[in-house]
Every structure is written in structure tokens, then in C-alpha cells.
Amino acid sequence: TKDDVLSAVVDQQVADLVGACVTTASSAGLVEALAHVAAVLGEHPALRKAADGEQQLLAPLLTPSSSRGWQLAREGVAAVLTAGGAPSSPADVDTVLRWATSQVLWPLSRDDARTGADALVRGLTVRTSAPATVPQQAVQSSGALGWPA
């Protein structure tokens, strides 16, 4: 059917984009890979045409589901994150997917996409650091309620 053909085309394009991004993340870094995703999704002629006049056609592409395309996208984002040395938990994957799919209806310029990708990558890597601890001062209990005198 026509839907099956469209689904196969989307699956192939997702696979192609994932392959390019894994290579880019491995060689040039995760920021460049995510900036590439934003450029591809933001400049894709068919997506631009649909976004400009037939947004309802994009709903299945932008609505997470258990479909093969979304499974490929999730697995692909995890592979790209891993190739770029970033955490790839389900929450990390979902965060990146939300950012990437936003490019379909609200694309960034190439410069803004790189800036956004950089912020996203910094956010992913910050929370994997050890939590900050506040050094505790020794409290002398010579004052009232344990406050220092």
C-alpha cells in the first residue's frame, strides 16, 4: 500500500541519517552530529513543504510510538550518543529526540542549530558528573540551638 511504501522510505531515511551521524559523532563530535541532524530535518524539501501547508501529514512522524520508524530513531539516537561519548539512557535519548523532531516544524538556522546542539550536549554531560557537595563547617554547639557563638 501507499502507507507501507511511505513507511519504508521514512525508515530508510532514518537509517541513512543515523549512519551519517554516528560517523560524524565519532570523527567530529556529538555537537557536529546533532547540528547535521538539525540541518537535514530543517532543510528537507518534503518536510518543508508539509510543514508549510500540510502539518497534519507530519503528525505520525512527530508523535512517539512503537512503530518501526520510532524504534529505529530511538536506537539510532542511542548509537549517536554512544559514538559521541555521551550518556545514552532512555531519558537522554528522549531529550535528544524531542530536540531533533522540533526541527521539522520549527527549524533552526545552521548557526543556531550548532549553538543549540552545543547546549544540549553540555546538558547531557553535566548531569553525569559527580554531584556537587557543599563542604560542611564544623559547628561548635556553644551557642543557642547549636549555632556558633
Residue written as cell 524531542?
Answer: 98
- Give yes or no for a contact between 80 and 21, defined as CB atoms under 8 angstroms apart: yes
Task: Kindly give the interhelix angle for 90-105 and 30-43, rounded to the nearest 10 degrees.
Answer: 40
Answering whether pTM is above 0.85, one says no
Report residue 1 as a C-alpha cell. 500500500
* Cα-based distances in Å from 42 to 93, 104, 112: 20, 6, 12
Burial of 1 (C-beta count, 10 Å sphere; 0-12/13-18/19+): exposed
Instruction: Identify the band that residue 1 occupies on the pLDDT scale cut at 50, 70 and 90.
Output: confident
Query: pLDDT tens across 6-24, in order?
Result: 788 888 888 999 999 999 9
Residue 30: φ, ψ to 5°: -65, -35
Q: What is the mean pLDDT of residues 111-129?
A: 85
- Residues 24, 76: contact at Cβ < 8 Å? no
Is 130's pLDDT higher than 60?
no
Confidence of residue 121 (pLDDT cuts 50, 70, 90): very high
Q: Give the tens place of pLDDT for each residue, 57-92.
A: 888 888 888 888 889 999 999 999 999 999 999 999
